[in-house]
Amino acid sequence: MNLTLHIWRQKNASDPGRMVRYEAKNVNADMSFLEMLDVLNEELTLKGEDPVAFDSDCREGICGMCGFMINGVAHGPQRGTTVCQLHMRRFKEGDQLHLEPWRARAFPVIKDLVVDRSAFDRIIQAGGFISVSTGSAPDGNAILVPKPAADLAMDAAACIGCGACVAACPNAAAALFTGAKITHLAKLPQGQPERYQRVLGMVAQARQDLFGSCTNIGECEAVCPKAIPLDVIAGMNRDFIKASWERREEVIEKGAG
């Protein structure tokens, strides 16, 4: 099939960028979307032009590296799928496809379709961890986890941090990502000691990185390649309210002083 691509080309972070039109000829329907771009890039390279930069790693839909907007939808038209697992059979002859990078203040464009998602790493550093004692390996089942809690934690832990939720959100909020990471650990016994510090830290970090505010509209849930539900955002809100109520630091500091 033959497609017309309109791709966001931006040399570097300071370049204003623009949409450039490319013709993709004789696209094989069995190719993945990224393979189609690989072919385009080979042609561009042979012509001496700069190939289109995009992120990818595993190409199995599990690493979270890839992702861009296809016709205004994060990861393209297929639900629950990263763009590397999207195949050209989803498109038809003559389609016009607009490819754009994730757009958010917190995700500055590095080049073309590649954005810097370090802001997600900073949110994780602000609380997305548990503390474990070193030493000999603990017994596998020493800490019991109820099956429903394990399932809910696993659902939330499926988040691969691709950033599609932020990209799809009209407010560029990181609520689904942050909520997934908080819920993942909040459901497990291992996550309890730091549970309320965690939510305060991660929520504050998301604000400092200039992510927007959630308006509960559900665009994030719809584009999430791991189909993580809005429920995790409510879980984050719940923990945030509880953590705000229970914070005692100021009182303790003054009392001890």
Q: Which residues bind another protein (CB under 8 A)?
A: 6, 8, 19, 69, 71-73, 98, 100, 103-106, 168, 170-173, 200, 203-204, 207, 210-219, 221-223, 229-231, 233-241, 244, 247, 250-251, 254-255
The smaller minimum CB distance to another protein, of residues 55 and 219, is found at: 219
Point out which residues pair with 109 in neighbouring strands.
115
Closest approach, Cβ 153 to another protein, in A, equals 15
Which pair of tokens denotes residue 69?
Answer: 């907007």
Q: Which is nearer to another protein, 43 or 231 (CB)?
A: 231
Residue whose CB is less far from another protein, 104 or 160: 104
Q: Which is nearer to another protein, 51 or 218 (CB)?
A: 218
Beta bridge partners, 73, equal 70
Q: How far apart are CA 179 and CA 187, in angstroms?
A: 12
- Residue nearer to another protein on the CB measure, 25 or 207: 207
Length of the chain: 257
Taking phi over 0 as left and psi of -120 to 50 as alpha, with beta for the rest, 179 belongs to alpha
Minimum distance, C-beta of residue 107 to another protein, in the bound complex (Å):
10
User: To the nearest whole angstrom, how small is the minimum distance from the Cβ of residue 140 to another protein?
Assistant: 30
H-assigned helices in 112-230 = 118-125, 147-157, 164-168, 175-186, 195-208, 219-223
Could you tell me the smallest distance in angstroms from the CB atom of residue 141 to another protein?
Answer: 28
Q: What is the DSSP letter of 3?
A: E
